[in-house]
Amino acid sequence: MGKRLTEQQRKFYEEKGYLIGLPPVFDAGQVKDLNEGLSELMKLLHPGEDAKDIREWHESSRFLYDICMNGTILDYVEDILGPDFYLWGSNFFIKPPRSSSTVGWHQDTYYWPLEPKISATVWVAFEDVDEANAAMQVIPGSHRAGLLKHSRSSGTDSVLTLECEQGQFREDSAVSLNLRAGQVSLHDDKLVHGSPANNSSRRRAGLTIRYSSTVVKCDLAVNPYFTTYLCRGVDTYLHNPAGKVPSSRFGRLDREHKSVEEAGPEAEKKLGRIK
């Protein structure tokens, strides 16, 4: 038995690469507070920016930092990653009603200059999410296939231009991660996932939070701004820079971000993604 997860749940995550069906982390009143906080963050955006630009703002907003450090969430992550892990990433993924935007099939770890690949993402539902309003879809078990081939394309409605090449997995095996507001899902960094357009009249809003084992090291030549916050245990490796806990409840983070998706082919070559 783990802190929160049963042995059956941990085995399911190990085999399938994801986990849903957990009790809500946030009750109705707390969900209201989450969405009010999101509204405050949105007020800090500059003209031309949208919710996806609220990225790594846990470094500047205590509101987000506290969500990322929620004890129940950390218990779930500890049951997956083990006793020593850190927080390093957060990002909102919001699809307005009638949005044609999609997220193509991809593996998170392809974009991240992190080794070894021992990371997990928590997706916090700020409102109900299901097939109608573009719930995230996953390919169960695809994390066990290792790093798949990705290629770039500009002819897509996806917010990503670097996606998994077709024919490497069965798309008809996809499962939608339906969540009620206040619930969370967890998925492995190697799991193939994506999401369709939101053709409904309802918004879909979720916060992704990224955690990695302390053994994981970032290539700072690709992402020199990588910053970690120890969540549980001890960091005996000290591979990565440590961040400062924010003092402001709501604050912008004006900083460049780097991933393989953004850095381009040279970063892919450096990390061995392409020859």
Q: Structure pTM? A: 0.93
Domains contained in the chain, CATH given: 7-270 (2.60.120.620)
Distance, in Å, from the CA atom of 123 to the CA atom of 68, rounded to the nearest integer, reads 11
Checking if the pLDDT of 63 tops 80, the result is: yes
Give the pLDDT of residue 163: 82
Taking phi first (over 0 means left), then psi (-120 to 50 degrees means alpha), and beta for anything else, what does residue 167 get? Answer: left
CB burial class (10 A; 0-12, 13-18, 19+) of residue 214?
Answer: buried
Per-residue pLDDT tens for 241-269?
999 999 999 999 998 765 666 666 666 66
pLDDT at 256: 72
The answer, yes or no, to whether residue 155 has pLDDT greater than 80, is no
pLDDT at 13 over 90: yes
Q: How confident is the prediction for the chain on average, in pLDDT?
A: 92
> What per-residue confidence (pLDDT) applies to 264?
62
- For residue 224, how many other CB atoms are within 10 A of its CB? 11
Is the bond preceding 140 in cis, omega lying within 30 degrees of 0?
no
Structure tokens at 62: 């205590």
Residue 265: predicted pLDDT: 66
Residue 273 has pLDDT above 80, yes or no: no
pLDDT of residue 184: 98
- pLDDT of 142 above 90: yes
pLDDT for 150: 87
